[in-house]
Chains A and B, each alone.
Chain A
Amino acid sequence: MDEKQVIASRVALELKPGNLVNLGIGIPSMVSEYVNKDQEITFQAENGIIGLGPYLTEDTLTVNASGLKASIAEGGAFIDSLTSFSLIRGGHIDVTVLGALEVDEDGSIASWIIPGKKVPGMGGAMDLVMGSKKVIIAMTHSNRGKAKIVKKCSLPLTAFKQANLIVTEMCVIEVCEEGLHLREVHPEFSVEDVIHATDAELIINEVLPMKGI
């Protein structure tokens, strides 16, 4: 498995049967590939699908939240943006998985803008991280050697103190009131490797090998 597959497959283990889940673009969107059908997990696309099916190449008016042609799963429903974001803001989404540019010791997330360089906009990310029961950050551990798990985000925030779990190709970190707990490390790396690649302070008690590897 490459690093993206490691991250996506590990995130998939966090999803519980019956969960309603939103997957962001990039690595998060790969999580559905590692979910077993019998788990009855329903994926939401915020543009208006409850029960997102696989990608399609044929002509269709059904698209996912990246604007790509998609399908609706059996038992699925089309909804408008207001209903979609009522589900998101009203606490009906069990898990949201998204990428990030930075996450910090408070669990604050920066994911939507690099001032002066890239201004794509927040889309639905601010609503998703604020309203979902559990927020999982799925991202590579660093960006060209630069740490992404930092003491304090330097980029504009997507949300203040909303991340619950960080999954990278190196490790799994739980965000708690007292700080970032290193929970699991990929067998190819040592705890020291993780500390070295992380700017934030990590709390290290019992560290297990990364599940599913």
Chain B
Amino acid sequence: MHKRIDKEKFISLIKDGMTLMVGGFLTNGTPETLIDWTLESSKSNLTIICNDGGYPDKGVGKLIQAGRVSKLIASHIGTNPTAGELMQSNQMEVILVPQGTLAEQIRAGGAGLGGILTETGKGTVVELNKKLIEVKGITYLLEEPLKADIALIGGAITDKYGNLRYVATTRNFNPIMALAATTVVAEVYEIKDFLDPEIIITPHPLVDYIVVGENHG
């Protein structure tokens, strides 16, 4: 399996100040081994795009806890009190985004779209500093695309080509993030000889590197 890499190679991919997309929903489907290795890389000033702030000892929460994250773009940080404290004390910038908008922004980034128009957030603080665009009599907020330098994908099972299917609810943000980053690393539970083409969610050309997980959370 030529896409398979080890810890040393993975660590060489992470640089200071990078933007990382991390799959998972409250750490379900988050690649914990890749988070551990990112911690070991000692790189900091990271921007993390993830559904949520994880937990202090799990998921992206481990990077937040270690002070490696300067900016977090997420829909929810309620399960990680540290994220809230760092936000209140201005030690970490937190941009809270409605979950559907976050998914669509990532999709726009991955699909080459200039943004998406949505009514979500109208009349709320989400509307502040956003461009409003009227289409067929309805006013929408323009939400801009999101992209990343690297996407850390979890919850997957692969074949020898790097095709991915996902297990149960681990799918969540993973397939959309696999489209929106320059480099895509997938942590998998296992490498199978064959995956049925009808159940593949993320096709192999999107996946640059495969890591077989050591920490399943």
Binding site for B on A (CB under 8 A): 45-49, 60-63, 65-67, 72, 78-82, 84-85, 88-89, 108, 116, 118-127, 130-131, 156-161
Contact = CB atoms under 8 A, between A and B. Distances in A.
Contacts of B75: 121-124
B100 A127 contact: yes
B162 interface: no
B68 interface: no
B169 A123 contact: no
Interface of B: 25-29, 51-52, 74-79, 84, 87-88, 94, 96, 98-101, 103-104, 107, 118-126, 155, 166-176, 201
Contacts of A116: 88
Contacts of A45: 169
B51 to A, nearest CB: 7
B77 A158 contact: no
Contacts, number: 137
Contacts of A88: 100
A103 to B, nearest CB: 14
A51 to B, nearest CB: 12
Contacts of B77: 119-121
A67 B27 contact: yes
Contacts of A72: 168
B28 A85 contact: no
A122 B102 CA distance: 11
Contacts of B169: 45, 47-49, 61-63, 78
Given A48-B169, A81-B176, A121 B74 contact: yes
A127 B101 CA distance: 8
Given A48-B172, A63-B25, A126 B126 contact: yes
Contact of A123 (B99, B123, B124, B155): B99
Contact of A81 (B119, B120, B173): B173
